Amino acid sequence: MQTLLKILQRYSNFLVFIILEVAAVLLMYYNDAYPRSSFLSTANRLIAWQYDQVESVCSYFALKGINEELVAENAKLRNELVRYESLTEDSILSREVIYPENEVVYLPAKVVQMTTNEVHNYLTINRGLADDIRKGQGVRNEDGVVGIVRTVGQNYSVVLPIINTHTNLSCRFLKNDYIATLQWDGKDNRFAQLADVASHMVVNIGDTIITSGLSPVFPEGIPVGIVENCTLGTGDSYYTIRVRLYTNFKRLKYVEVIQNAHQTELDELENGLD
Amino acid sequence: MDWIRQIGRYIVVMLLQVLFFDQLHLLGVCHPYIYILCLLMMPITLPHSIDLLIGAALGLVMDVFCNSLGVHMCACVLIMLIRPYLLGTIVNDKDRLNEQISLRVLGWEALIKYVIVLVLIHHFCVFMLSAWHWHHLVFVLLSTVVSSIVTISVIFGYNALKYK
């Protein structure tokens, strides 16, 4: 016993070191696998608030570009509206058919913090539990897919963008509905890789990729990107495809969270199951 | 009194880190972690295990800012473990180590060795753990070298200005 205590005393520093390193590795593992705590992330109220303040100063420098994008977006939407209105005028279809009750609701949010140059990138948005944000909701902007909500705090949330090596996104080709999986190799934030495309498919450069709608996260048809180049080595049964993403993550300032219109009902159902 | 100053410096350095150096993103590979200045310049009067705990705490705070729980904690605990042994081999006159580690105590030669070794270990550890794959080794090494150069210059600059 005495010798044991002596040994422990002698190596106590080393013991503390081992315990702390094991704790760090466990934290790393559990944070990747099951992110629970919004307190220990940038969804933390104080930290997100500080980023929010910095962002509100920095955002002045980007206002001109954002205004131009908004004007273009407005014009596009107005044109679409005109088309729909002409439909209601001379149509035997009732208004309810043309304007069905929305299944999804887009909630605008501001990006308060974002990394783009790491292997595991994250972004923080200024919406949280108070705005009915839930883990697993999709996030997009006007150009295309952005990512999936990962940790939700009271007023802020952390989003896992598609430029994070942990993300998998179910996509399809616009031209023939061929389903594939979008992944990111951690290198260039403008490009992602498309997996599971078998060699019998004809892939052309410039093919459009959209979300498949197979998972409840994203509705079908949100733009993802276009095929930049594709290679098929001799003997390979799957293509190596590089996709140029529509979303410019370097300049991401505003996003929209995709929410289910019946979120409260879904919550009640899920709570009832437990 | 000395420890209040240490904490004050930590807050200032952390603000600089989060408000300026985290936003830098030069060339995609430059992400200096200057907050370890506080760990490197801390006096080694405390027991070694307390040093390790301080390292873990500071690393964890940085992790919360980076959404990377455990990564900085791991790297900081490692450099805090190595620190006294490294100082022991670099510095001949052990009595001088009872005060704040600085240019005045170590002199340029020892300071350069001490800072370069620990910053390289810390940065390599952080980038490797956050990449978590040998596949990204080139990116990791490039990030380590570029970011370390910035961090090391900041620490030298701090010492040169304070103890000229």
pLDDT, position A35: 63
pLDDT, position A256: 92
Residue A52 included in any domain? yes
Nearest CA in chain A to B133: A119
Q: Between A and B, how many residue pairs show a Cβ–Cβ distance under 8 A?
A: 91
CATH no. for residue A199?
2.40.10.350
Please give, rounded to a whole number of angstroms, the shortest distance from the CA of B31 to a CA of chain A.
9
Answer for the pair B30, B146: CB distance below 8 angstroms, yes or no. Answer: yes
CATH no. for residue A151?
2.40.10.340
Secondary structure string (H, E, C) spanning A171-218: EEECCCCCEEEEECCCCCCCEEEEECCECCCCCCCCCEEEECCCCCCC
pLDDT, position A11: 84
Residue A147 included in any domain? yes
Residue B101 to residue B81: CA distance in whole angstroms = 16
A232 and A209 in a common domain: yes
A176 and A157 in a common domain: no
pLDDT, position B138: 87
pLDDT, position B34: 93
Q: How far is CA B58 from CA A226, B21, B35, in A?
A: 43, 17, 9
A208 and A116 in a common domain: no
Instruction: Judge: A28–B129 Cβ closer than 8 Å, yes or no.
Output: yes
Number of domains composing chain A: 2
Residue A135 to residue A150: CA distance in whole angstroms = 5
Q: Which residues of A touch B63 (CB under 8 A)?
A: 27, 40
pLDDT along chain A (274 residues), means of 10: 82 89 89 70 82 82 83 86 75 61 82 85 90 89 91 90 90 90 88 89 90 84 91 85 92 88 74 73
A108 and A68 in a common domain: yes
Chain A contact for B141, CB < 8 A?
A: no
pLDDT, position B60: 92
pLDDT, position A265: 76
A135 and A183 in a common domain: no
Q: What is the DSSP letter of A227?
A: E
Provide the b/e sequence for B144-155 (b: ≥16 CB within 10 Å).
Answer: bebbbebbbebb
pLDDT tens digits, B8-51: 999 999 999 988 888 777 667 788 999 999 999 888 888 888 99
Low-confidence ranges of chain B (pLDDT < 70): 1, 26-27, 94-98
B interface test, pick of A25, A118, A160 with most B CB neighbours within 10 Å: A118
Q: For chain B, which residues make up each domain, given as ranges?
A: 2-162
Instruction: Judge: A117–B25 Cβ closer than 8 Å, yes or no.
Output: yes
Residue B58 to residue B77: CA distance in whole angstroms = 9
pLDDT, position A36: 63
Whole domain around residue A214: which residue ranges?
Answer: 169-251
Q: Which residues of A touch B146 (CB under 8 A)?
A: none
pLDDT, position B147: 92
Of B28, B65, B74, the CB nearest to A42: B65
A176 and A149 in a common domain: no
pLDDT, position A48: 84
Of A28, A47, A122, the CB nearest to B70: A28
